[in-house]
Amino acid sequence: MNSSLLKKIAVLLAAILVLIQFIQPERNTGLALGENDIAHTVVVPANVQEILSNSCFDCHSNATQYPWYASIQPLGFWLKDHVDEGKYELNFSEFKTYTEKRKTKKFKEIVAELEEDEMPLASYTWVHKNTVLSPEQKATLLAWAKRNYELRMKHAELKVIPNEWCGKYKPLED
Ligand code: HEC
């Protein structure tokens, strides 16, 4: 490849980089804790809520706290991708709208992800050091998710699930 062609390619790439700055992807700026959030359907102790908000909500809720570099493309697109995918898999802001079966499955997945140290995503904790789960935080979150999973499985056999929050029993939807 001759150098004038390389120069042209470099200029073209630079122009594309400048142009894409004008395209800003839509942001996830809803309400993290609204009427359908997880605390409206499952008991979420304050310390668990704090861990979820701090380490999981950026990708698994309706409200992301955006870092400054989210305005720089293509980083913003890359972030949007994570948020879209994370919310699609698990959205704590919409947890109440899930079927009982799906809620149970999500608790099982949370346990698995934590046990394998898969969440929060490494590419994220690398930049957001304060979101790394301490051993205590991991243990707290794991115990909470396990307890919910086990409780739900046990009561699924009886076709009812306990709602510790309001002390009533609710029939299983499916
Ligand atoms: C930087 C964004 C990000 C953060 C922060 C994050 N996740 Fe995720 N999460 C994702 C993405 C993306 C997926 C889907 C792709 C995958 O499974 O890797 C996912 C998937 C999941 C799944 C579903 C996995 C499956 O079996 O399909 C669970 C459960 C989960 N995350 C739990 C958590 C918990 C709990 C936290 C906080 C401790 C957390 N995540 C923090 C981005 C994130």
User: Which pLDDT band holds residue 161 (cuts at 50, 70, 90)?
Assistant: low
pLDDT at 171: 44
Nearest CA residue ID for atom 29, ligand 1: 110
Q: Which of 27-31, 40-44, 60-64, 113-117 has the lowest mean pLDDT?
A: 40-44
User: Is residue 82 lining ligand 1, measured as CB closer than 6 Å?
Assistant: yes
- In the reported structure, the alpha carbon of residue 119 is separated from the centroid of ligand 1 by a whole-number distance in angstroms of 6
What would the pLDDT profile of 96-133 be if each residue is shown by its tens digit?
999 988 999 999 999 999 999 999 999 999 989 999 99
Range of the domain at 56: 3-171
pLDDT at 2: 82
- In the reported structure, the alpha carbon of residue 120 is separated from the centroid of ligand 1 by a whole-number distance in angstroms of 6
Number of domains in the chain: 1
Nearest CA residue ID for atom 2, ligand 1: 59
Nearest CA residue ID for atom 25, ligand 1: 109
Q: What percent of the chain has pLDDT over 90?
A: 79
- In the reported structure, the alpha carbon of residue 95 is separated from the centroid of ligand 1 by a whole-number distance in angstroms of 14
pLDDT(168) > 90 = no
Three-state SS string over the chain comes to: CCHHHHHHHHHHHHHHHHHHHHCCCCCCECCCCCCCCHHHCCCCCHHHHHHHHHHCHHHHCCECCCCHHHHCCCHHHHHHHHHHHHHHHCCHHHHHHCCHHHHHHHHHHHHHHHHCCCCCCHHHHCCCHHHCCCHHHHHHHHHHHHHHHHHHHHHHHCCEEEECCCCEEEECCC
User: Which pLDDT band holds residue 82 (cuts at 50, 70, 90)?
Assistant: very high
Closest ligand 1 atom number to CA of residue 114: 35
The residue-averaged pLDDT of 28-54 equals 94
